[in-house]
Amino acid sequence: MNSLKHGGSDDARRFPEGFVWGVGTSSYQIEGAAATDGRAPSIWDTFAHTPGKVNRGDTGDIACNSYHRLDDDVQLLTELGVGAYRFSVSWPRVLPNGSGAVNVLGLDYYRRLIDRLCERDIKPVLTIYHWDLPQTLEDRGGWANRDAALALGELAAVLAEALGEQVAMWITINEPLQTVQQGYLNGSHAPGRRDPALAAAALHHILLGHGYALQALRSRLPDAAAGPSMDPQPFLALDQGSRAAAEALDAEYNRAYLDPVLRGSYPAALRADLMPPGELIQDGDLALISAPIDFFGLNYYRPHYLRRGDRFDLRVGESAIPGWRGTVRYMAPDLPRTVMGWPIVPAAMRDLLIRLHEETGGLPLYVTENGCAADDYLTPEGRVDDHERIAYIHGHLGAVLEAIAAGVNVAGYFHWSLMDNFEWAEGYRRRFGLHYVEFESGRRVRKRSAYFYRQVAISNELPPAPEPVLADAPLPAATGARSQ
Ligand code: FCB
């Protein structure tokens, strides 16, 4: 990386003209209104209501109540100064049976949201599938059943026809890796399975769902910009002895998703029990999965370090790779970490962007998620002084600038998240937002980081260091205090 430019000149701190600044959320994490206006349950409703699955038994029944606070949230986005908002559609709100009859009231919610965003010049970036599979599809086998892939194509068609031209970017699927690893291998996410055979089937079908969604968009909206959001994981070997493990993990966690989409094949090095069996792969599947995309969305949070000597404990499931299980361990050396325990290493994101630039043949890359949980709290004066988050953002935006300086086409950055929300199995205890949410009342309060991010988004440049920004920042005021 010696050839990279570092800091110093104004140019080095400026983002390219037209760089997209956004924030992200997803339906189950923020909407609430779980049984309102014809919404049917998703696998996350079922999972969260199963005792022992989510921290403290939290559920998304009410969440941030964004379904009823749409105007407040669009106001937050407007005040934040962002040019784009990444949200996802709740599949069982729009197609309560997974496919077939459309729930017009559910669709209207997204139509209103998109209208409001467009009125404020905020680009709607729509994720079609962010983990809330309708329970009716789960009852028929979920992602292990090919029908789920076809149904995702149907959902994409419904959304394209109803919301069409106003959507600036379409994200087909979010982090298929997590569905496979956490949903089907270690069971920590919905639907809570621990079965490699089902995981292998889910892997193929969720990528096929991406393919069908893309096909549905292409035939209805030929000019639409569409691509997936994925979360390739950096595995960094700290010694020679861990290299083979790093490669095996790269095949399982990264190549298994990148290769089918970017090359039309599964990697030969994928552990055997996760390789989708031949009988599941029909003629034309891989062509559909690898159809051209317009951009690649990267969700990045942290790297993983490997070294020889201790037990490997990143995954609960059984490994089919001989020779390394039991000798390599996930560990973070002496690095700062977030409250999730995730090491903070912006350079790993830069290197991932450089790798993706090469793998995608120079496609526009968007960071579609990046952010950190912190122990945020309201001071007696009503402020949230989240200095760690500001430092995290500053570091990672510096990494984006370094990737751009190295020739990578990074076209935008979406901070995760607009506001604190339901953090899956962690429930509400993990706060990732630029806005603090007081879940009892639904009140949103701007954190310090929102002021910082606003400055970056509006100026399109990174200030030299967070400190002066903090010293100069006006006291945050509560916004959107109206409760429902
Ligand atoms: C990602 C998810 C997103 C959010 C962040 C913290 O894996 O896509 O919904 O929970 O993690």
Taking 3-state DSSP, the helix, strand and coil percentages for the chain, each rounded to the nearest 5, stand at 40, 15, 45
pLDDT digits (tens, 9 = 90+) for 109-129: 999 999 999 999 999 999 999
Give the Cα-Cα-Cα angle 165, 169, 173 (nearest 5 degrees): 120
119 counts as catalytic: no
Q: Is the pLDDT of residue 470 over 80?
A: no
Q: Is the pLDDT of residue 12 over 80?
A: no
Ligand 1 atom nearest residue 178's Cα: 7
105-135 burial, b for 16+ CB within 10 Å, e for fewer?
Answer: ebbebbeebbebbeeeebbbbbbbbbbbbbb
423 Cβ below 6 A of ligand 1:
yes
Q: Is the pLDDT of residue 473 over 70?
A: no
pLDDT at 328: 58
Question: Is residue 178 situated within a structural domain?
Answer: yes
Q: Is the pLDDT of residue 211 over 80?
A: yes
175 counts as catalytic: yes
Alpha carbons 124 and 422: distance in angstroms, whole number: 22
Rounded average pLDDT over 276-281: 98
pLDDT at 475: 39
Give the Cα-Cα-Cα angle 370, 173, 430 (nearest 5 degrees): 40
Prior bond of 417 cis (ω within 30°):
yes
Q: Is the pLDDT of residue 303 over 80?
A: yes
Q: Is the pLDDT of residue 334 over 90?
A: no
pLDDT at 4: 35
pLDDT at 333: 61
Catalytic one of 175, 388, 402, 423 = 175
Domain count, the chain: 1
Q: What is the mean pLDDT of the chain?
A: 91
pLDDT tier at 326 (50, 70, 90 boundaries)? very low
pLDDT tier at 467 (50, 70, 90 boundaries)? low
Catalytic one of 31, 138, 252, 369 = 369
pLDDT at 6: 41
pLDDT digits (tens, 9 = 90+) for 419-440: 999 999 999 999 999 999 999 9
Rounded average pLDDT over 93-118: 98
Domain that holds residue 351: 5-302+347-470
Q: Is the pLDDT of residue 459 over 60?
A: yes
Closest residue by CA, ligand 1 atom 10:
423
pLDDT tier at 476 (50, 70, 90 boundaries)? very low
Rounded average pLDDT over 152-177: 98
Higher pLDDT residue, 450 or 3? 450
Rounded average pLDDT over 31-60: 98
DSSP string, 377-398: ---TTS----HHHHHHHHHHHH
Ligand 1 atom nearest residue 29's Cα: 9
Mutation probe of ligand 1 site: the residue of 64, 132, 369 with most atoms within 8 A of C-beta:
369
> What percent of the chain is predicted at pLDDT more than 90?
82
Question: Is residue 312 situated within a structural domain?
Answer: no
Rounded average pLDDT over 204-220: 98
pLDDT at 358: 98
Mutation probe of ligand 1 site: the residue of 416, 420, 421, 430 with most atoms within 8 A of C-beta:
416
Question: Is residue 171 situated within a structural domain?
Answer: yes
Does an H or E element contain 479, and which?
A: strand 478-479
Question: Is residue 334 situated within a structural domain?
Answer: no
DSSP string, 36-82: STTPPPBHHHHHHTSTTSSGGG--SSSTT-TTT-HHHHHHHHHHHT-
Q: Is the pLDDT of residue 477 over 80?
A: no
Question: Is residue 288 situated within a structural domain?
Answer: yes
Q: Is the pLDDT of residue 175 over 90?
A: yes
pLDDT at 481: 32
Alpha carbons 34 and 340: distance in angstroms, whole number: 27
Question: Is residue 31 situated within a structural domain?
Answer: yes
Rounded average pLDDT over 167-183: 97
Q: What is the largest CA-CA distance in the chain?
A: 63
Backbone angles phi, psi at 117, to 5 degrees: -60, -45
Rounded average pLDDT over 316-343: 61
Ligand 1 atom nearest residue 373's Cα: 6
341 C-alpha vs ligand 1 centroid, how far in Å?
15
Domain CATH code at residue 192: 3.20.20.80
Rounded average pLDDT over 312-331: 45
pLDDT digits (tens, 9 = 90+) for 345-386: 999 999 999 999 999 999 999 999 999 999 999 999 999 999
Q: 199 by DSSP, 3-state: which?
A: helix
Q: Is the pLDDT of residue 445 over 60?
A: yes
Alpha carbons 260 and 263: distance in angstroms, whole number: 5
Q: Is the pLDDT of residue 482 over 60?
A: no
419 C-alpha vs ligand 1 centroid, how far in Å?
13
pLDDT at 329: 56
130 C-alpha vs ligand 1 centroid, how far in Å?
9
Alpha carbons 414 and 457: distance in angstroms, whole number: 11
Alpha carbons 179 and 188: distance in angstroms, whole number: 10
Question: Is residue 339 situated within a structural domain?
Answer: no
Does an H or E element contain 227, and which?
A: strand 226-230
pLDDT at 1: 34
**Neighbour tally for 466: CB within 10 Å:** 21
pLDDT tier at 194 (50, 70, 90 boundaries)? very high
Question: What is the value of pTM for the model shown?
Answer: 0.93
Mutation probe of ligand 1 site: the residue of 339, 368, 424, 430 with most atoms within 8 A of C-beta:
424
> What percent of the chain is predicted at pLDDT more than 70?
88
Question: Is residue 325 situated within a structural domain?
Answer: no
